[in-house]
Amino acid sequence: MDIRYPIPADTVRTTITVANSRFIGTAGHTPSVEAARAFIAAIRAELPDATHHCHAFLVGYGACVTAGLSDDGEPAGTAGRPILAVLRGADLGDVTVVVTRYFGGTLLGTGGLVRAYGEAVRAVLDALPRGERVDLRPMVAQVSYGAYAAARRVLEDVGATIDTEEFGAAVRLLASVPVDVYTQTTVALAEATAGQAVIE
């Protein structure tokens, strides 16, 4: 599995109207199948009077993906499949889209439904801010007070998060470092502190 890949940075909702039916698209970050199911259940609970809650999700990214979909009572293949097709083309991982439909009294036919659900997904994905999933590995580095500023700079430059700083006889930095730059971070710390940094 890729160590870094694009994911939703927030949950967003958009609405389109097709022949008096409202299609409400909700998209959000779901890092597991359980999270995807919980996301879908939360929208069902929030909009209980809707006619349908059709959805698709992708957990993982690239070749390593678990996908799911549901037509939720719409004619087979008219909702879940088009939602998943648009989602697969969006270059996103760990994402769920639910398209909630309030029936407006006009039958759209199978082609009309496929188009409407596809448009609803495109609309919500256009509004969706993106972030990045990064695998992190904990690192504990002990440095002298003189090397503290240089060590902090190295960790910040590689995108690490400094979780805790302990000031004793030396400074102990507990950080979360992106896995793909872990080794180069240990080398950079050694160089920046003239070999004084101790990685525990």
Question: pLDDT tens digits for 99-124?
Answer: 999 998 888 889 999 999 999 999 99
With H, G, I as helix, E, B as strand and everything else as coil, classify residue 20. coil
Helix (H, G, I), strand (E, B) or coil at 145: helix
Q: What is the pLDDT of residues 154-177, one digit of tens each?
A: 999 988 889 999 999 999 999 988
Q: Output the pLDDT for position 74.
A: 93
Query: Is the alpha carbon torsion for 178, 184, 186, 192 positive or negative?
Result: negative
Split at pLDDT 50, 70, 90, the class of 45 is very high
- What gap in Å lies between CA 162 and CA 184, rounded to an integer? 17
Say what the pLDDT of residue 200 is: 85
Q: Which tokens go with 8?
A: 């939703």
Confidence at residue 101, expressed as pLDDT on a 0 to 100 scale: 95
Give dist(CA 94, CA 152) in Å, integer: 31
Residue 1 clears pLDDT 80, i.e. is over it: no
The yes-or-no verdict on residue 2 having pLDDT over 70 is no
State residue 135's pLDDT score: 79
- Give domain limits for the chain: 4-132, 135-199
Taking the alpha carbons of 144, 147, 148, 151 in that order, is the dihedral positive or negative? negative
Residue-wise pLDDT tens digits, 53-95? 999 999 998 888 999 999 999 999 999 999 999 999 999 999 9
Fold (CATH) for 4-132: Ribosomal Protein S5; domain 2 (3.30.230)
94 close to 36: Cβ distance less than 8 angstroms: no
Check if CATH label 3.40.640.10 holds for domain 135-199. no
Full-prediction pTM beyond 0.75? no
* pLDDT at residue 59, as a whole number: 94
Examine the pLDDT at 148 and tell me if it is beyond 60.
yes
